[in-house]
C-alpha cells in the first residue's frame, strides 16, 4: 500500500497492530464499548499501600526538598536523590521480588502527581528511569537474568535514562544513525554515534540505548528473525535494537548538559560513543525489534508520567490563583467579582477536572495489562500537556505583573514567592517530550483510520489499476454498504447501573451518536480525498481532536458519577457538564470541517512564505538567518562548562 502518512513509513513498519481491547479503536469506527471504561475497583492492598506511602513521601518533600533552590542552582542535590532512593521512589513500578515497591500504575501516577505539585523537575527525574529508563524495557522484554541483575540496582541505587533522539532525528525515531556492530568474536557489540536530549543522561549509570545493528534474515523454528553479522559483513539491513548501556564503559562521553527555557534542574545530556563495547548479553529482547520496544515503552510515559506531572503542576497553581483572585483589589473591587476573571477561572476548573478524570481513567485502563492503550495514552499526553499550558497561562494572566516576575524577585520584598512564570516555562517541555503534539495527533489519526487502511489496502494502492481496481471496489462495496447503514443505527448502552444514572445516560448517548457521526465523516474523507489525506494534517488533527473530546466527555461523566456514588460529592457534575458543553461545540465544528474546510488558502500562504515570496516581512530590522547564529563549537562548549561551574 502506498504510505498514507508520509515520513512515518519506518515507524509504520515497527507499529504493532491493535490486538487487545481498545475503547478508542471502537469509538473511531462507531462502536465505543463503554464497559471498557468501567475497570475493576482498586484492590484494597493497593489502596493501603498508597495510604501508607503518601505521608512518607509528602513529609520528605516538604522537609528535605527546596524547589526554589533547584530552580536557582539548576541542580537537584545528591542528598535529595539518595533520600528518594531510600524511600523506594525510583522503584515504584518495579515488582517487590526485584527490590521495588510493586505499585499499581494508579499509585505510581498519584505519587508523581504529588511530587510534581512540589517540584515537577524532581518528578520528571524520578519518572524517566521508571517509564523509559532500563526498568520498563527489562520488565516488558528482558530475560530473567537481566531483570535479577539490573532491576534491584535501579530500584535502590542507580539512576537510568533513555537514549533514542539524535541531533537530526527527534520524533522521526526511525532514522537514527548510531550503530552497534557485532565484533568478530560475537561476544560484544561496538557502538559509535551520538545521542541528544537524553534526560538524566549526565547522572545515569545505565541507559536504554537504541542503535542500528547490521544484520541478516534467518529462520528459527519457522520464524523469521534478524541475526547480527560480525563486523557488519554481509548485512542485509541495519536494524533497530535495544541495549542496556553501562555509562562507565570506556568511550562514553557526556559532552554537554543541555540547558532549556525551563525545567532548569533536569540533567539532560548530549553524549557521544566511540568504540564503546556492550556485551552481547545486554541486548534487550530480540535484535531488530528496538523501535517496536521504544514505541511501546513510550506509551507508559504518555499514559502515566506526563499526565501525572502535568496534573500536579496544574493543581499546584489552582489554590494560589483562587487566593489571588479573592485578595487582589482593582478599582475597589476584588478580581473575583469581575466577569472576565470568573470566566477564566471557570475554564481553569473545567480543564483541571477533565485532566484528572482522563488521567485516572487511562491509568486504570493501563493497569489492567490486558488492554491496548496506545491511542488512549497518546490522547492523555496531548490533552494533559495542552490543557496544563492553557491553565497555567490563564493563571499567569490573572496574576498580572506578579505572574511575570520570578519567585525570588517577589520574595525579596516580602511578596508571596509563588513562581507561576516558572511553571509556564516548565510546562512547555511536557508538550514536546515523549512525542510532540503535532506528531502524536497524526499518530492517533492513523489508528483512527486503521480499519479503513487495512481493508482498503489494495484499493488505495495507486499501482492497482484497471480490472483489479474494479474488483477491489466491488469487494469493498460488499463490506461498506451494510457497515455504512449500521452507522445510522443507535447502539444501546451496556446494561450496567452506572450507565443508567440520570446524568450519565444522556452524556454517553451523545458520545455514542457522535462516534457514529465521526465514523461516517472519516469514511467520507477517505472516499473523497483518498491519497490527499497523506499530507493533510489539518484533517488528521481534527480526527484526533474529535476523538480526544469524546473520550474526555465519557471519562468526566464516569468520574463525576464515581465521585458522587463512592465519595458523596455531587458537585463534580457542574464541572462535567461544562466539559460536555464546550467539547460538544468543538466536536460539531471539527466533524463538519473534516469534509469541507478553509485549510488550503492559509497552507498556500505558508508555502509561498517558505519560498521567499514575502521579503518585506523582514524589512526594517538587522536581518539574520538561522545560520548567522552559529558560534564556534569549542567556544560554545567552554561557555557551557563555565555556566555549569558557576551553577555548582
Angle at which helix 504-529 crosses helix 466-486, to 10 degrees, equals 160
Q: Give the H or E element holding residue 368.
A: none
Do residues 191 and 197 touch, judged by C-beta distance below 8 A?
Answer: no
Distance CA 160, CA 440 (A): 25
Q: Which residues pair with 87 in a beta bridge?
A: none
Distance CA 427, CA 135 (A): 25
Task: Please name the residue ranges forming H helices in 248-338.
Answer: 290-300, 306-327
Q: Give the H or E element holding residue 455.
A: helix 450-455
Q: How many CA atoms lie within 13 A of 404 on its CB side?
A: 3
Q: Of these residues, 166, 434, 498, 582, which one is catalytic?
A: 434
List Cα–Cα distances, 415 to 61, 70, 119, 402, 410, in angstroms. 23, 20, 20, 9, 5
Burial (0-12, 13-18, 19+ Cβ within 10 Å), 576: buried
What DSSP state is assigned to residue 100?
A: S
Q: What are the φ/ψ torsions at residue 511 (nearest 5 degrees)?
A: -60, -40
Tell me the residue ranges of DSSP E strands in 188-298: 188-199, 206-220, 223-228, 237-246, 252-257, 268-279, 283-284
Distance CA 498, CA 533 (A): 39
List Cα–Cα distances, 9 to 225, 296, 379, 432, 449, in angstroms. 20, 17, 22, 22, 16
Q: 451494510: which residue's cell?
A: 482
Q: Is 45 a catalytic residue?
A: no
Do residues 278 and 126 touch, judged by C-beta distance below 8 A?
Answer: no
3-state secondary structure of 598: coil
Neighbours of 68 (CB within 10 A): 15
3-state secondary structure of 19: coil
Distance CA 28, CA 4 (A): 17
Short-list 250, 235, 129, CA closest to 188: 250
Q: What are the φ/ψ torsions at residue 278 (nearest 5 degrees)?
A: -120, 120
Burial (0-12, 13-18, 19+ Cβ within 10 Å), 586: middle
Distance CA 132, CA 372 (A): 18
3-state secondary structure of 74: coil
Residues annotated as part of the active site: 434
Amino acid at each position: 500500500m502506498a504510505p498514507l502518512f508520509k515520513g512515518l513509513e519506518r515507524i509504520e513498519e515497527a507499529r504493532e497492530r491493535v490486538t487487545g481491547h481498545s475503547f478508542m479503536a471502537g469509538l473511531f469506527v462507531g462502536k465505543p464499548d463503554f464497559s471498557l471504561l468501567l475497570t475493576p475497583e482498586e484492590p484494597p492492598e493497593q489502596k493501603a499501600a498508597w495510604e501508607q506511602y503518601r505521608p512518607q513521601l509528602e513529609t520528605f518533600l516538604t522537609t528535605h526538598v527546596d524547589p526554589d533552590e533547584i530552580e536557582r542552582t539548576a541542580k537537584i542535590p545528591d542528598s535529595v536523590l539518595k533520600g528518594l532512593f531510600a524511600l523506594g521512589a525510583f522503584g515504584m513500578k518495579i515488582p517487590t521480588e526485584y527490590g521495588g515497591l510493586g505499585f499499581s500504575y494508579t499509585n505510581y501516577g498519584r505519587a508523581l502527581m504529588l511530587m510534581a505539585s512540589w517540584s515537577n523537575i524532581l518528578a520528571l527525574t524520578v519518572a524517566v528511569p521508571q517509564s523509559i529508563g532500563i526498568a520498563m524495557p527489562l520488565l516488558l522484554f528482558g530475560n530473567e537474568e537481566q531483570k535479577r541483575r539490573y532491576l534491584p540496582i535501579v530500584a535502590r541505587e542507580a539512576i537510568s535514562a533513555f537514549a533514542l533522539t539524535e541531533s537530526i532525528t527527534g520524533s522521526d525515531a526511525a532514522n537514527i544513525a548510531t550503530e552497534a556492530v557485532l565484533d568478530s568474536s560475537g561476544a560484544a557489540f561496538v557502538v559509535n554515534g551520538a545521542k541528544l536530549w537524553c534526560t538524566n543522561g549526565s547522572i545515569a549509570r545505565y541507559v536504554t540505548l537504541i542503535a542500528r545493528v547490521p544484520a541478516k534474515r534467518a529462520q528459527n523454528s519457522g520464524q523469521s528473525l534478524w541475526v547480527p553479522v560480525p563486523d557488519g559483513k554481509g548485512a542485509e539491513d541495519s536494524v533497530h535494537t535495544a541495549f542496556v548501556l553501562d555509562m562507565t564503559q570506556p568511550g562514553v562521553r557526556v559532552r554537554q548538559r543541555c540547558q532549556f527555557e525551563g525545567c532548569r534542574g533536569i540533567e539532560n545530556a548530549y553524549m557521544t560513543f566511540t568504540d564503546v563495547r556492550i556485551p552481547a548479553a545486554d541486548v534487550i529482547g530480540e535484535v531488530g525489534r528496538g523501535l517496536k520496544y521504544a514505541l511501546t515503552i513510550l506509551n507508559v510515559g504518555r499514559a502515566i508520567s506526563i499526565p501525572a506531572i502535568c496534573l500536579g503542576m496544574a493543581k499546584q497553581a489552582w489554590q494560589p490563583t483562587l487566593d489571588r483572585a479573592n485578595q487582589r483589589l482593582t478599582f475597589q473591587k476584588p478580581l473575583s467579582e469581575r466577569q472576565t476573571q470568573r470566566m477564566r477561572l471557570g475554564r481553569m476548573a473545567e480543564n483541571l477536572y477533565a485532566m484528572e478524570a482522563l488521567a485516572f481513567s487511562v491509568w486504570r485502563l493501563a493497569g489492567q495489562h490486558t488492554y491496548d492503550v496506545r491511542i488512549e495514552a497518546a490522547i492523555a499526553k496531548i490533552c494533559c500537556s495542552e490543557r496544563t499550558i492553557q491553565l497555567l497561562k490563564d493563571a499567569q494572566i490573572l496574576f498580572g505583573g506578579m505572574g511575570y516576575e520570578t519567585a525570588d524577585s517577589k520574595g525579596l520584598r516580602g511578596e508571596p514567592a509563588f513562581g507561576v512564570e516558572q511553571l509556564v516555562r516548565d510546562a512547555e517541555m511536557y508538550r514536546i517530550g515523549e512525542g510532540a503534539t503535532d506528531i502524536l495527533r497524526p499518530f492517533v489519526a492513523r489508528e483512527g483510520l486503521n480499519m479503513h487502511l487495512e481493508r482498503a489496502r489494495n484499493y488505495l494502492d495507486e499501482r492497482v489499476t484497471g480490472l483489479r481496481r474494479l474488483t477491489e471496489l466491488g469487494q469493498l462495496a460488499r463490506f461498506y454498504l451494510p457497515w455504512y447503514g449500521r452507522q445510522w443505527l443507535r447502539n444501546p448502552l451496556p446494561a450496567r447501573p452506572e450507565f443508567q444514572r440520570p446524568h450519565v445516560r444522556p452524556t454517553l448517548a451523545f458520545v455514542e451518536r457522535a462516534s457514529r457521526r465521526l465514523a461516517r465523516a472519516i469514511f467520507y474523507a477517505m472516499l473523497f480525498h483518498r491519497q490527499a489525506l497523506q499530507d493533510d494534517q489539518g484533517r488528521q488533527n481534527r480526527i484526533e481532536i474529535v476523538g480526544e473530546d469524546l473520550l474526555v466527555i465519557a471519562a468526566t461523566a464516569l468520574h463525576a458519577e464515581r465521585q458522587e456514588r463512592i465519595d458523596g460529592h455531587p458537585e463534580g457534575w457542574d464541572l462535567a457538564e461544562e466539559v460536555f458543553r464546550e467539547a460538544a461545540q468543538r466536536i460539531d465544528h471539527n466533524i463538519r470541517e473534516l469534509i469541507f474546510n478553509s485549510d488550503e488558502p492559509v497552507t498556500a500562504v505558508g508555502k509561498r512564505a517558505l519560498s521567499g515570496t514575502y521579503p518585506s516581512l523582514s524589512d526594517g530590522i538587522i536581518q539574520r538567518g538561522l545560520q548567522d547564529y552559529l558560534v564556534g563549537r569549542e567556544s560554545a562548549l567552554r561557555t557551557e562548562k563555565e555556566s555549569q561551574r558557576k551553577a555548582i
